[in-house]
């Protein structure tokens, strides 16, 4: 520690970490939190980014103040630039159960779409191997990769067809729909025909099967009673969507 550090409260990284309790202070004078946010924005060290990201994990009253602070925090993190900001953002996306949408929005500003998809795939792979109570992060990530043609997505998404949350299953089905990924056929048909599968999930499975052009071979007798408009079974045993 240098002489200047004695008067400023420590080095940049140390000072940044000491400000975290103020940044995540939900109650009390908002000016204290806002001053800490501004101080972090002027530090330009990765630790400051990590602490700033923690602001996205809580909501304060009034909601207008919360929204303003988060937008200001977003702009401050973005101002750090790719080299400094992206590594802590990636770590935050991997380890935090909250605020995934803010992390993805920042990555969208600081990196290419391919790099953002890479981050999503990595985070989803981590989630599929680790228990998490809150399904929101999975849904956010799955929605982000939906529509992408990246070949890494289908094998990463298939395990989420067995998730406890119906919202996660539906998001996974939406992400899989654009691919004709044969290894997904059997898990989708098992999900469709399982006794405990909710009707809204079954409808999403039918949509994904139709979009993927999959046959229901081996499951026809179980699938036919589950067909609802606008879905029907063609002569080739493939789910069709009526016009």
Please, what is the average pLDDT of the chain? 93
**pLDDT on residue 10:** 52
Between CA 108 and CA 89 the distance in angstroms is 11
Between CA 242 and CA 235 the distance in angstroms is 14
Confidence of residue 5 (pLDDT cuts 50, 70, 90): very low
166 alpha-carbon distance from chain centroid: 16
Confidence of residue 11 (pLDDT cuts 50, 70, 90): low
**pLDDT on residue 147:** 87
Q: Is 56 exposed, middle or buried (0-12, 13-18, 19+ CB in 10 A)?
A: buried
Mean pLDDT score, 7-16: 70
The two structure tokens encoding residue 41: 């924005």
Residues 211 and 177: beta-carbon distance below 8 Å: yes
**pLDDT on residue 3:** 40
The two structure tokens encoding residue 132: 């998490």
User: Does pLDDT of 88 surpass 80?
Assistant: yes
Q: Which tens digit of pLDDT belongs to each residue from 109-159? A: 999 999 999 999 999 999 998 878 789 999 999 999 998 999 999 999 999
Residues 141 and 124: beta-carbon distance below 8 Å: yes
Mean pLDDT score, 222-235: 95
Rounded-to-10 torsion of CA 47, 49, 52, 57: -100
Count Cβ neighbours within 10 Å for each residue of 25-54 and write b for 16 or more, e otherwise.
Answer: eeeeebeebbebbebbbebebbbbbbbbbb
pTM, two decimals, is: 0.90
Mean pLDDT score, 158-167: 96
Residues in CB range of 151: below 8 A, 6 or more apart: none
User: Does pLDDT of 18 surpass 70?
Assistant: yes
Count Cβ neighbours within 10 Å for each residue of 196-209 and write b for 16 or more, e otherwise.
Answer: ebeeebbbbbbbbb
User: Does pLDDT of 16 surpass 90?
Assistant: yes
**pLDDT on residue 134:** 83
Mean pLDDT score, 216-242: 94
Confidence of residue 9 (pLDDT cuts 50, 70, 90): very low
Which of 128, 130, 126, 123 is CA-nearest to residue 99?
123
**pLDDT on residue 1:** 42
Helix axes 46-53, 82-95, angle to 10 degrees: 40
């Amino acid at each position: 520690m240098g002489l200047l550090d004695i008067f400023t409260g420590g080095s940049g990284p140390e000072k940044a970490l000491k400000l975290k309790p103020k940044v995540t202070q939900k109650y009390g004078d908002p000016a204290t939190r806002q001053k800490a946010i501004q101080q972090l924005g002027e530090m330009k060290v990765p630790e400051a980014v990590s602490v700033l990201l923690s602001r996205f994990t809580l909501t304060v009253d009034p909601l207008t103040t919360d929204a303003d602070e988060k937008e200001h925090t977003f702009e401050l993190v973005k101002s750090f630039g790719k080299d400094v900001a992206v590594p802590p953002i990636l770590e935050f996306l991997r380890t935090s159960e909250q605020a995934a949408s803010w992390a993805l929005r920042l990555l969208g500003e600081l990196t290419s779409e391919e790099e953002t998809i890479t981050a999503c795939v990595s985070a989803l792979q981590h989630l599929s191997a680790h228990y998490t109570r809150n399904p929101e992060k999975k849904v956010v990530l799955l929605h982000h990769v939906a529509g992408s043609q990246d070949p890494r997505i289908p094998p990463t998404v298939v395990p989420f067809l067995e998730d406890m949350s119906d919202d996660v299953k539906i998001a996974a089905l939406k992400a899989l729909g654009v691919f004709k990924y044969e290894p997904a056929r059997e898990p989708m048909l098992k999900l469709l025909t399982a006794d405990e599968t909710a009707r809204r999930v079954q409808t999403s499975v039918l949509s994904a099967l139709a979009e993927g052009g999959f046959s229901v071979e081996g499951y026809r007798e179980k699938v036919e009673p589950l067909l609802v408009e606008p879905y029907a079974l063609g002569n080739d045993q493939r789910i069709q969507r009526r016009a």
